[in-house]
Amino acid sequence: MSLLWANSQVAGLFCQGLLDQSMKKKDWATLRKLMVDNQLRARGIKDERVLQAMEKVPRHLFVPENMQEVAYSDEPLPIGEGQTISQPYIVAYMTEAIQPESWKRVLEIGTGSGYQAAILAELVKEVYTVELIPELAERAKTLLDGLGYQNIHYKIGDGTLGWPEEAPFDSILVTAAPAKIPTSLEEQLGPGGRLIIPVGEMFQDLYLVIREKDKLSRQKLLSVRFVPLVTLH
Ligand code: SAH
């Protein structure tokens, strides 16, 4: 009994040792693989393309330098201007929910660090991303341009209004929470289009809205915590 206990302790120390080593060497690819296996696959994310994108995009480049060591941990992180980058699981969950097929044009509200935009850009044809805070939008664009993404279109402004000039969209993904679903976003969904959005103030739920023929279906998925979607009017 005590031998078993001792062995498992040793095994635990050994694993921890491996993890420490890879952290020290900044072996980001290993950390990404662990993140995909332990946080995403283990919790039921199934879309292989989404898992591949999460394994590829260098999340540590989207967080402040002093946060890079924890970039692949199971939590949201601050990105400046009082905003946050979502937990990896939530990014994967929302991406999977909009069914990111390769022919799609997708609107994202809340560019933030640009991480979610990069994940989408790996998967779909065109990404349209709107951010209210110019400093964040500019920083994200510089990083994403540097990483070579050419299918992302940027707009600085109020995402509550969507991007009417480019509508309709096949999917819309909102990464900040309004008190209720903005009608302009529902209106900018094309036929069969899917909108994923956190809704609420203190307590929020993630909703999936689907445009089916001449009606909209709205489904509540899970409880979440996002920064508020700032409403200007
Ligand atoms: N998708 C981001 C996370 C963004 S956090 C990422 O991957 O890093 C939410 C973002 O929504 C913040 O950057 C915030 O400035 C932005 N935001 C809040 N209200 C907005 C609005 N009305 N229009 C556009 N962006 C908004």
pLDDT score, position 232: 79
Q: How far, in Å, CA of 109 to CA of 193, rounded?
A: 16
* Predicted local confidence at residue 20, as pLDDT: 55
Q: Which residue has the tokens 């909703």?
A: 207
Q: Is 86 annotated as catalytic?
A: yes
Tens-digit pLDDT profile for residues 7-47: 444 444 445 555 555 455 569 999 999 999 999 999 999 99
pLDDT at 5: 41
Residue 23, pLDDT score? 53
Answer yes or no: is pLDDT of 1 > 60.
no
Report how far ligand 1's centroid is from the alpha carbon of 83 (Å).
7
Cα 120 from Cα 50, distance rounded (Å): 9
Query: Which ligand 1 atom is nearest residue 130's CA?
Result: 24
Q: What is the pLDDT of residues 47-98, one digit of tens each?
A: 999 999 999 999 999 999 999 999 999 999 999 889 999 999 999 999 999 9
Sequential DSSP letters for 77-106: EEEETTEEEPPHHHHHHHHHHT---TT-EE
Whether the predicted pLDDT of 152 surpasses 90: yes
Confidence (pLDDT) at 19: 55
The single-letter code of the amino acid at 54 is M
Beta bridge partners, 218, equal 209
pTM of the full structure: 0.90
d(CA 70, ligand 1 centre) in Å = 21
By C-alpha distance, which of 151, 161, 101, 104 is closest to 130? 161
